[in-house]
Structure 1
Amino acid sequence: MHLPRPIPLAAALAAALSSCAFANDSPTMLMPRVDVIGTANRLPDLAGTGQIIDSKELEGSRVFTVNEALRRVTGVNVRDEEGFGLRPNIGIRGLNPTRSTKVTLLEDGVPLAYAPYGDNASYYHPMVDRYERIEVLKGPGSLLFGPQTVGGTVNYITPAPPQEVGGYVQGALGNRDYANAKFNIGGHGLLLDYTRKQGNGSRDNMEHELDDLNVKYVMNLTRDQVLTLRGNYYTENSTVTYSGLTQAEFDRFGARYNPFKNDRFDIRRHGFSATHAIAVTEKAVLTTNLYYSHFDRDWWRQSSNSTDTQCGTGFRDSRLAGIAVDPDNCNSIQGRLREYDTWGIEPRLTVEHQ
């Protein structure tokens, strides 16, 4: 077992504090990407404050969702919604956490939001199983990485493809019909990762089915150039209601009560990105991200809150009185349908100097 032969680009990336990452157990391909922090020794020199959750900490703490992981970061407030961490509400330094709109979310430096320069709400968020490291940057240094950085920047780092062929299969079962299966195989600069997760949410009539497929390929173009290609396909089929509980419903039926069995929340997302790095000099690296994603969300629901009259005043009055209701008797339904195509190109020059 041996590490790849050093090339000028590898030396330049290391000198410029970019992303020349090698796995702990097996050699990996040089993988260009954009880090918001990089190695831990950069923390004292940041324009702000930052924290890194590395792979050892993620694995050792057995985090179930990204919410559990980010609660380990000082100054970050994360609010749960459905129990699966599908739509995290991340607030930094006291800002409103709703839909993480004041925080830029990145994956290997590529924007995660379906409209980062417009509607920054995080109705889509990958599973924490996809990542090996998380970087959180707060303060003025975040301005370098996106448009919605008033709170800060969270950058999720995916594993680099190995050189040697190998992989694993793992699974987990739990209560409330929870099941999590993962398949991972890679070698020669290619990595294929698939995760299937399903289970019941925190309330009745809330079921989730998630599929997450990721492919990554890294190639050396020349002695001074490396290219990373990434593709992913994500689907979610959930029954998620927007309505909470009235006090009478809570007192009579308990915290898990949810009569809206017909509400649906379906997501289809696919994305592609290419990251090219070239060593201009031994101390200067030009990294260019080109990315595209298509996001399609259908959210059909019968009630927007616990007291509206969408299904009639009798329906509302029954809920206020703590009387069980049948949504099949209500023909009214509201659709919140969204579809976005997002693309961008970002060149970034990193220079080491005195």
Structure 2
Amino acid sequence: MPTQTRRSPPDGYYRTTVSSLAIALSAPAVAQETTGPDDGEVRAEQIADERRENPVDSIIVVGGRIDPYRIAGSADLIDSEDLRRFDYGDVNRVLRQVPGINTQEEDGFGLFPNIGLRGSPVERSSNITLMEDGVLIAPAPYAAPAAYYFPAIGRMQAVEVTKGAAAIRYGPRTIGGAVNLRSTDIPADGLAGYAFGQYGSRDYYQGQAWVGGDTDYVGALLETYQQGSDGFKTIDGLPDADTGFERQDYRGRLAVHTAPDAPVEARLEFVYGRSDLEANETYLGLADTDFAAEPYRRYAASQRDAFSGEHDQYRVTGSLAFSDGTRITATLYRNDFARSWSKLQDIDFDGDGSFDSISSVFVNPEDNAGALSILRGADSFEGAVRIRNNNRVYRSEGAQISLERPFEMGGARHNLAVSVRYHEDEEDRLQNEEFYSQIGGDLVFERQTDLGQQANREAKAKAIAFYIEDRIEIGALTLTPGLRYEGIDLTRLDYAGSDPDRSNGPTRVRQTNIDQWLPGLGATYELGDAILLAGVSRGFSPPGPGNPDARAEESWNYEAGVRYRSDKVQVSAIGFYNDYSNLLGNCTQSVGCSVGDIGDQFNGGAVTVKGLELSAAVEPRLSNSVSFPLSLAYTFTDAEFDSSFDSEFFGDVNEGDDLPYIARHQLYVEAGVNMGRAAATVGANYVSELRDNPGSGAVAENERIDDRIVFDIAGSYALTDKFSLFARVDNVLDNQYAVSRRPFGLRPGVPRRIVGGARVSF
């Protein structure tokens, strides 16, 4: 059994981490002995008050909102008020409120988001750290980070985004940053409930309901979230076919805790969640001429494409909060995800027995008219249409513990944060293929291969991560040095296609070890209502298992800017510069990869990403009951390759070429009016043109995704303090626009959608 090993794991890195943790935990205890009793007690009381005001365990929030005086780096919060203004079920529409975020839309509903931060590649959100309630939530964050499961944004109460030096606290992917989704908490006082529902165009529906309560010792919450639609595309020859989706989410939380007046606040909480998604989605897009004539068309060859996913979430969290501000939190977690996405893989267009890539049809459709006609529904050769059953099972589990302790030493205030996480995850592929003949526009089943013949392999990861940070306040200056460690063992096991039960063992084993230290330093300086900030950090994303030539993605990240906050206006301007020594390209079918194996990674060499993030908010008032909130978020991004090379994955790249699918300009503006019980808001989103492949200068028409501006409008009217009506129109002007050429042809954004509904609470 051949085995390829890059490096053997260092025997001492577990001992190093444990020793560092012991030193870190003992440091504040020693330093506390020199603290002045009066100042120390005042500081402890302040932090204890903050904890009581914000009982939710939040990774970056104090008192329920971002506090720029405490965050040494870029941090943004989309709170419940921001989310409720439009009540989107699409995470792409939610995240455009935050500067520095790149998204590539795909299905019009946000089911499979592609999110990048500060110019990091967007494919399947695999280059960011994605969390729910501070716990890694991608199906296999280390072994297979592509996020084919994404939590329903419509059930969240807040979204937190960190970039720059602040992001190394979370990991493992620290170049772009981290997105943390905060789910519904158990109500803090007594019994409470909430229900919201909306219904509209093409049978689109979205609803959330929860009921819960808390006593002196016990709290509980039950919640459900439902979302679906008949879809907005029409399949050739099948006008009544469902191209929509159905999502069902169920959540339960149970907590036991000490009485409110206990000297030590102790809490133990259990969380279980179940999510099911059925979606009649495809990767097949349209040729340019077909898109121009009918953008919401779907070719007949995609009629069998369908996704099915089941996700189970388990979490147990215990915490202790002491009167001096010290807090200890420990979490055990597990996520199980099973998915099957049967979708068109390739076609034997000419009947010679070899299957041809579909992407070649869209490179030059004029020279592939016969092949394009088969996609549209023309008769094929017998068994010429191959559909792959992308059947995969994921497991992600681990334990993390964190300590936060304030103290004073040498006239400076400190807040020490230490965390350790042990994590394991795996992806199991057992895939086969089906063969169809297209006859009269229908796909007729011919045969299928045995399970495992297309792909039969496992990818596994074990990781231990350690982080320490000290926020040091010296008058108007705050310094936040931090250090992260990632020790990762990656293994890929390949099995014979004829051995689905794997009784003969693997035919090949490939192992990789990564041992990485990631320093970071952030600084803020207070000048009245303004704050100057700067930061530098080491960026890192681990390679996946399986490709021994793929190196880790590494960079040095720099940022500097200013924030201003007063009673009337909030403004932020931050410049960033990410200097990659190596960029990784991820081979997924969603980007049309046809080289190597799906899941492989390819080195892209040195890359420079620089840009500017601007945000501003103001709310002029005409009277106590009438105001006009206005906000904007703008991002400028310049992402270029720093070397010339020829790659099977990236193509022919020249120094100075722009990275694909990174918009140079993005702007989001919200303007509203609040008049007592009534409110209305208009949102406008502009995205400049995108290129499908690396390049420079003018973008060729067959590689361009045109710029676009899309308007949404939402309004509400409160009939009582507990009951209100709601309406929203997405894409008010009904613009027809493309969002991607990946992987096979142009795909559209959602057409005009009108929904109405109501919400009630008690």
Please tell me the TM-score bracket, short chain as reference: 0.7 to 0.9
Residue of structure 2 aligned with 1:219, choices 242, 252, 256: 256
The one-letter code of the counterpart of 1:135 is E
Alignment deviations for residues 166-201 of structure 1 (CA, whole Å, 9 cap, x no partner): 323332111122122322111231111101111034
Q: CA deviation at 1:58?
A: 1.1
2:202 paired residue number: 176
RMSD: 3.0
Relative to structure 1, is the Cα distance of residues 208 and 319 closer, same or farther in structure 2, using a 3 angstrom cutoff?
farther
Is 62-71 or 38-47 further displaced after alignment? 38-47
Segments of 4+ in structure 1 off by > 4 A? 11-14, 16-22, 326-331
Q: CA deviation at 1:319?
A: 4.7
Query: Does 1:15 pair with 2:42?
Result: no
Query: Does 1:67 pair with 2:67?
Result: no
1:186 paired residue number: 212
- Tell me the distance in 1 between the aligned counterparts of 2:294 and 2:374: 8
1:116 paired residue number: 141
Equivalent pair of 2:285/2:298 in contact (CA under 8 Å): no
Equivalent pair of 1:133/1:158 in contact (CA under 8 Å): yes
Query: Does 1:99 pair with 2:124?
Result: yes
Alignment deviations for residues 45-76 of structure 1 (CA, whole Å, 9 cap, x no partner): 32311111111111123334121111000111
Is 139-148 or 340-349 further displaced after alignment? 139-148
Larger RCO: Structure 1 or Structure 2 (Cα < 8 Å, ≥ 6 residues apart)? 1
1:195 paired residue number: 225
- Tell me the distance in 1 between the aligned counterparts of 2:280 and 2:373: 25
2:376 paired residue number: 324
Relative to structure 1, is the Cα distance of residues 253 and 233 closer, same or farther in structure 2, using a 3 angstrom cutoff?
same
Q: CA deviation at 1:138?
A: 0.5
Give SS of 1:237's match: strand
Is 172-181 or 133-142 further displaced after alignment? 172-181
Relative to structure 1, is the Cα distance of residues 41 and 177 closer, same or farther in structure 2, using a 3 angstrom cutoff?
closer
Alignment deviations for residues 194-232 of structure 1 (CA, whole Å, 9 cap, x no partner): 011110345335210100111112220574311121110
Q: TM-score, normalised by structure 1?
A: 0.84
Q: CA deviation at 1:277?
A: 0.7
The one-letter code of the counterpart of 1:257 is R
Residue of structure 2 aligned with 1:289, choices 312, 317, 331: 331
Q: CA deviation at 1:14?
A: 7.0
Give SS of 2:107's match: coil
Relative to structure 1, is the Cα distance of residues 347 and 247 closer, same or farther in structure 2, using a 3 angstrom cutoff?
same
Relative to structure 1, is the Cα distance of residues 148 and 253 closer, same or farther in structure 2, using a 3 angstrom cutoff?
same
1:238 paired residue number: 279
Relative to structure 1, is the Cα distance of residues 253 and 13 closer, same or farther in structure 2, using a 3 angstrom cutoff?
farther
Q: CA deviation at 1:350?
A: 0.8
Unaligned runs of 5+ in 1: 1-10, 23-29
2:356 paired residue number: 309
Q: CA deviation at 1:340?
A: 1.0
Alignment deviations for residues 296-338 of structure 1 (CA, whole Å, 9 cap, x no partner): 0101112369x97379x99x75453587316997552212111
Give SS of 1:56's match: helix
Equivalent pair of 2:45/2:323 in contact (CA under 8 Å): no
- Tell me the distance in 1 between the aligned counterparts of 2:181 and 2:222: 18
- Tell me the distance in 2 between the aligned counterparts of 1:123 and 1:36: 26
2:670 paired residue number: none
Is 219-228 or 339-348 further displaced after alignment? 219-228
- Tell me the distance in 1 between the aligned counterparts of 2:60 and 2:256: 23
Give SS of 1:240's match: coil
- Tell me the distance in 2 between the aligned counterparts of 1:146 and 1:280: 27
Alignment deviations for residues 243-264 of structure 1 (CA, whole Å, 9 cap, x no partner): 2212344355544333212111
- Tell me the distance in 2 between the aligned counterparts of 1:323 and 1:99: 26
The one-letter code of the counterpart of 2:97 is R
Relative to structure 1, is the Cα distance of residues 18 and 299 closer, same or farther in structure 2, using a 3 angstrom cutoff?
farther
1:165 paired residue number: 191
Q: CA deviation at 1:273?
A: 0.4
Relative to structure 1, is the Cα distance of residues 285 and 171 closer, same or farther in structure 2, using a 3 angstrom cutoff?
same
Relative to structure 1, is the Cα distance of residues 238 and 231 closer, same or farther in structure 2, using a 3 angstrom cutoff?
same
Relative to structure 1, is the Cα distance of residues 334 and 292 closer, same or farther in structure 2, using a 3 angstrom cutoff?
same
Would you say how many aligned residue pairs link Structure 1 and Structure 2? 334
Q: CA deviation at 1:288?
A: 0.9
The one-letter code of the counterpart of 1:215 is G
Q: TM-score, normalised by structure 2?
A: 0.41
Equivalent pair of 1:176/1:200 in contact (CA under 8 Å): yes
Mapping for residues 249-288 of structure 1, pairs under 5 Å: 249-251=290-292, 253-259=294-300, 260-279=302-321, 282-288=324-330
Equivalent pair of 2:48/2:323 in contact (CA under 8 Å): no
- Tell me the distance in 1 between the aligned counterparts of 2:249 and 2:136: 17
- Tell me the distance in 2 between the aligned counterparts of 1:231 and 1:327: 49
Relative to structure 1, is the Cα distance of residues 333 and 12 closer, same or farther in structure 2, using a 3 angstrom cutoff?
farther
- Tell me the distance in 1 between the aligned counterparts of 2:305 and 2:67: 47
The one-letter code of the counterpart of 2:333 is Y
Unaligned runs of 5+ in 2: 1-42, 235-241, 350-354, 362-367, 408-412, 414-762
Relative to structure 1, is the Cα distance of residues 220 and 86 closer, same or farther in structure 2, using a 3 angstrom cutoff?
same
Alignment deviations for residues 71-98 of structure 1 (CA, whole Å, 9 cap, x no partner): 0001112221101111111111112111
The one-letter code of the counterpart of 1:242 is Y
Residue of structure 2 aligned with 1:51, choices 53, 76, 80: 76
Give SS of 2:81's match: helix
2:245 paired residue number: 208
Q: CA deviation at 1:43?
A: 2.0
Residue of structure 2 aligned with 1:337, choices 391, 394, 402: 391
User: Rg: which structure is higher?
Assistant: 2
